[in-house]
Every structure is written in C-alpha cells, then in structure tokens.
C-alpha cells in the first residue's frame, strides 16, 4: 500500500502540471484581451436584489460618453441596478463652468429618487427657497410651494465642478462602473447599428470599446449628436459670468432676476461667501474682454440697474477682471431612433438657462430611462431595444416640455423691447406674479419642476396676456390701447406657439395618443 504522504505529493504534482498547462498554453491560445478569454468575474448585487456578474476584463452592458451631470448620475443609477458600465470622459479634472449651478426643487427630488442627494453635501451648497424679481426699482418675492414637503426639500445652488466631482466619486465607488479619461472620436457602426465607440486615451492611444447600448452625454458641445439627431441649435444670447464676494443678497436664499435693459441679470449664491452674477447679452457677440469693452459695458450699462446692496461688490468683481462668457444654446429634442445608441443631457436637448432647469430635465430623463431599462436583463437585441426605447421620448415630455417651453417663453418676455405690446407683456408678467397666491404659486411651481404640466403652463401664460389687456382697457379703453391689447395677444402667441410646435404638440399635450407610449419590454 502506497504511503499517504507520497500519494499526496503525486496528487499535488499532477495538479501543478495541470495549472501550468492552463497558464502557458490555454492563455497563449486565448489571451485575456480576446473575446474568447475566460474572464475573472465578481458578483454584483443589484438594487432589485438580483445577482449579476461583472467582467473585470472590460465586457460592458452600457457605454456612457461624458461624465458631466447627466453622465455621472446615469452611470451611478445604472451601475446600482447591476449594469456593467464604462464611462469615457474627456477630462476627469474638476470642471469650472459658469452655468449648471442651480438645481431646482423638482431636480432635487429626482436626485433623492436616484439616491444621489448626498452629492450636494460637503460642497458648501446653499438652499434656495424661491426667487426675487426686480423691475424699475420695485421687487416681489416668489416662494417655492414647498409646504407639503420635508423641510430639507428646496433648491440647491453650488459650484458646478464640486457637484460633478461628488457624483463621479459616487459612480466610480461601484465595482461595476469604470471611469476612463479619453476623447471619443466616433461611434462604431455596423449595418445601421451602433456597436460601441472609438476613443483616444490621454496618452494618445487609439482604442475601441464595445457594448450593446451606447449613451451619448457629451454636453452642449457634443461632436457626436449629428449622428443621432437633427440638431437645430439656436444661440439667442450669451451669459457673462462674475463672482461677487463680501456682500449679501437683498433676499437671502433666493435667486434674483433683474428685468434689466436690454435683458435679464441673475444673482444667486454658489457658496456661503460667493454670489454668482450672470449678465445676459443678447445675440452671439459680446463686447471684447481683452480691450476693456466688456468692463466698460458692465459698469455703464449693467451696474446702474443692479440692486444697491450689490452695487459695490459688482464693481469690485468687474475690476478684479475674472470675467467669463458662455453662449446660451437652445435645441429641441429631435432624435433619430438608432439601434444601439441613445442621446441624453445637453447633447440631446437644451433650453435657455435663465430658469435653471437643465439639470432638472437631465435627472428626470435618467429616472425615466432607468425605469424603462430595469425589466430588461439582456440588451443585445438592438432593433427591439431601439423600438422599445422610443417610449422614452414620449414619457419624458411632461417635465422636459414644461421646463423647455417656460425657459424660452420667459426669456423673450423678460427681455426689453421698443415694441409697446412687448413692453406691456413684460410689465403684465411682473404685476401678475406680484399678485401672490395662485398667480405666483402656479408659475413658480412650473419653474421649479414641481408641477410638470404643459397645459397649466399655457393657461398661466395666456392669463398673463389677458391680464395685460385688462390693464390696458381699464378704466377707459381707447383705440390706441385696444390696438396694443390685440397686438399683445398676438405677440404672446408668437412667443409660445413656435416653442410648443418645436416640442411637439401631440407628445406634449396628448402623449397617450402616441403609439410608443404603450411599448412593452422586449421578450427576454
């Protein structure tokens, strides 16, 4: 009978030879980078309690292009649901932008729904509870209708870069989400289906990444959107950004809108010691910063219209010279349903940033998409998935179209005009909101994303116009005032109806009549 010790030695030797064979020959034949490799995996428990495996060698379910607000939030949301996510971002350093700094209460509620509310913590974010509207030395305070919510529910304002970095950290903390720095140069297409992306790493390597679904979130300067939509980008104005220090807002914890000439000026806190000022300059060209024209414009045209409490800090900020500009883009959502790909965020849909609704729309879109994708275990049937996800474009409409339409309409109403009818509309809007009660609560609930009802928006908009006509005709109408009243109604129609047409009348007001509204998940 063989000695047990000798038998053990023989068994160990055989096992070692088998392991050596696998290491040398099998790995040589099927290297780790090939699709045939046997990848190392780890089990991921999803939010729904399912257990899925994540391929450490790079297999992904979803590729996300861009790690801004939309991309980072989406990566965390899908990763939490067990998807294997690769995020490719051009620059993973903290962004420094002058927009994307105000999150409306409706957006904060979506942030909570996505489990990302802690991303506004530890960045010196400030609560915002309403707006203060200034015109010709008068002002009115408009509070968000937050009575039925928890005391923590409010808007939030902050440094955009700090917020994005917090969301990137949160996304990359999930084991099945990988953030990689690189510039996506093109989408990889095969027979009309997007199979992945080609990108260049920070050390100039040209690489390709493949996945059944690619979501493009590369922002307002997207170089990929032309492949996936019909972009009709309008640039009605530019923002000139300053940071005011060592001053207090006239109404604490409020966004401030000054109905200036030629267009609005915004103030809101972005930290406990800083106030952001955004001066809207109509058109696509702004005075030159380098030759001093911008400083002169700000001091001579804008400064006299600034509230007295902010005047000295405004002049000091201009003298300090850290003046930045940003084109304000507007683009209705006009996607080409494309198998294997989807557009989101500012790459997909933009509106004038006057109302600070962009992040609210993006986060709401993510909630819609998450709910659509949750029942699907397999994303590889690109044509069926594409047909199913057409419902996304309809389901997002209540929130998106309300905020988009309001932003475009308010900007046009708030801009100064030599037209007597437009002047009356602007004054009527200020006076209507100053009435308080439902006259201010209704529009502010639309603005804040708490009441995403397009019909309510249209009713309030035309109520402002009718209120303006009433002011003209009382106490005694005259032919001139009657004519201005008629032109006021036609002017109001000319402002809002083209925006509604661009948004899609049927999807906006009658979504249940759109066939895509009833799409069911593809069979597993």
Q: Is the pLDDT of residue 381 over 90?
A: yes
Phi, psi of 328 (to 5 degrees): -95, 110
Which CATH number describes the domain made up of 62-123+158-233+332-380?
Answer: 3.50.50.60
Q: What is the mean pLDDT of the chain?
A: 89
The pTM assigned to this predicted structure is 0.88
User: Whats the size of the chain, residue-wise?
Assistant: 524
Written as six digits, the tokens of 248 are: 């207090």
Q: Is the pLDDT of residue 342 over 90?
A: yes
> Please, which residues bridge with residue 52 across strands?
44
The side-by-side arrangement of strands in the sheet containing 85-89 is 206-210, 193-201, 177-190, 85-89, 62-65, 213-216, 341-343
Q: Which residues neighbour 387 within 8 Å (Cβ) at sequence distance 6 or greater?
A: 337, 519, 522
Provide the 10 A C-beta neighbour count for residue 319.
10
pLDDT of residue 519: 86
pLDDT of residue 91: 96
* Domain range annotation of the chain: 62-123+158-233+332-380, 234-329, 405-508
Instruction: Return the DSSP state at 512.
Output: G
Per the CB < 8 A criterion, the answer to whether 76 and 177 are in contact is yes
Q: Is the pLDDT of residue 190 over 80?
A: yes
pLDDT of residue 524: 61
Residues 26-80 pLDDT 10s: 333 333 333 333 333 444 444 444 434 343 335 899 999 999 999 999 999 999 9
Residues 423-432 pLDDT 10s: 999 999 999 9
pLDDT of residue 33: 32
Span 131-139, average pLDDT: 96
C-alpha 499/C-alpha 504 separation (Å) is 9
Residues 483-493 pLDDT 10s: 999 999 999 99
Q: Which residues neighbour 66 within 8 Å (Cβ) at sequence distance 6 or greater?
A: 87, 88, 89, 90, 216, 217, 218, 219, 345, 347
pLDDT of residue 523: 74
Span 154-160, average pLDDT: 98
Fold of 234-329: D-Amino Acid Oxidase; Chain A, domain 2 (3.30.9)
pLDDT of residue 518: 85
Span 236-265, average pLDDT: 97
Half-sphere exposure of 337 (CA within 13 A, CB side): 14
Span 211-221, average pLDDT: 96
């Amino acid at each position: 009978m063989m000695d047990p010790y000798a038998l053990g030695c023989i068994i160990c030797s055989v096992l070692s030879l088998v392991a050596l064979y696998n290491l040398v020959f099998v790995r040589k034949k099927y290297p780790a980078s090939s699709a045939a490799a046997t990848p190392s995996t780890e089990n991921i428990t999803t939010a729904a309690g399912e257990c899925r495996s994540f391929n450490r060698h790079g297999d992904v379910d979803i590729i996300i292009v861009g790690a801004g607000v939309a991309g980072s939030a989406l990566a965390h949301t899908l990763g939490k649901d067990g998807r294997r996510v690769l995020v490719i971002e051009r620059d993973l350093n903290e962004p420094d932008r002058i927009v994307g700094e105000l999150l409306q209460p409706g957006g904060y509620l979506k942030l909570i729904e996505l489990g990302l509310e802690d991303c506004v913590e530890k960045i010196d974010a400030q609560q915002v509870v309403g707006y203060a509207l200034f015109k010709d030395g008068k002002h009115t305070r408009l509070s968000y209708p937050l009575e039925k919510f928890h005391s923590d529910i409010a808007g939030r304002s902050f440094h955009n870069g700090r917020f994005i970095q917090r969301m990137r950290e949160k996304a990359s903390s999930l084991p099945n989400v990988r953030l990689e720095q690189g510039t996506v140069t093109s989408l990889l297409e095969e027979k009309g289906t997007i199979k992945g992306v080609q990108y260049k790493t920070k050390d100039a390597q040209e690489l390709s990444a493949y996945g059944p679904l690619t979501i493009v979130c590369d922002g307002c300067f997207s170089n990929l959107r032309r492949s996936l939509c019909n972009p009709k980008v309008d640039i009605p104005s530019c923002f000139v950004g300053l940071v005011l220090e060592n001053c207090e807002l006239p109404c604490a914890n409020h966004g401030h809108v000054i109905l200036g000439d030629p267009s609005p000026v915004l103030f809101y806190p972005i930290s406990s010691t800083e106030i952001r000022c955004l001066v809207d300059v109509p058109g696509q060209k702004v005075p030159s910063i380098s030759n001093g024209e911008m400083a002169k414009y700000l001091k001579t045209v804008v400064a006299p219209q600034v509230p007295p409490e902010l005047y000295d800090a405004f002049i000091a900020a201009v003298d300090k010279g850290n003046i930045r500009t940003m084109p304000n883009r507007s683009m209705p959502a006009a996607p080409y349903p494309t198998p294997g790909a989807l557009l989101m965020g500012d790459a997909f849909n933009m509106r004038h940033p006057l109302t600070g609704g962009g992040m609210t729309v993006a986060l709401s879109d993510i909630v819609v998409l998450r709910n659509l994708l949750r029942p699907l275990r397999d994303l590889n049937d690109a044509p069926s998935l594409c047909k199913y996800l057409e419902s996304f474009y309809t389901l997002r409409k209540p929130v998106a179209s309300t905020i988009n339409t309001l932003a475009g309409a308010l900007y046009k109403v708030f801009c100064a005009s030599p037209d007597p009818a437009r002047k009356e509309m602007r004054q009527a809007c200020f006076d209507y909101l100053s009435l308080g009660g439902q006259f201010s609560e209704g529009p502010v609930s639309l603005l804040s994303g708490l009441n995403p009802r397009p019909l309510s928006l249209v009713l309030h908009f035309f109520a402002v116009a009718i209120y303006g006509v009433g002011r003209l005709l009382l106490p005694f109408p005259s032919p001139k005032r009657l004519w201005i009243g008629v032109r006021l109604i036609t002017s109001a129609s000319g402002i809002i109806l083209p925006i509604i047409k661009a948004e899609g009348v049927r999807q906006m007001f009658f979504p249940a009549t759109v066939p895509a509204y009833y799409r069911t998940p593809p069979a597993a």
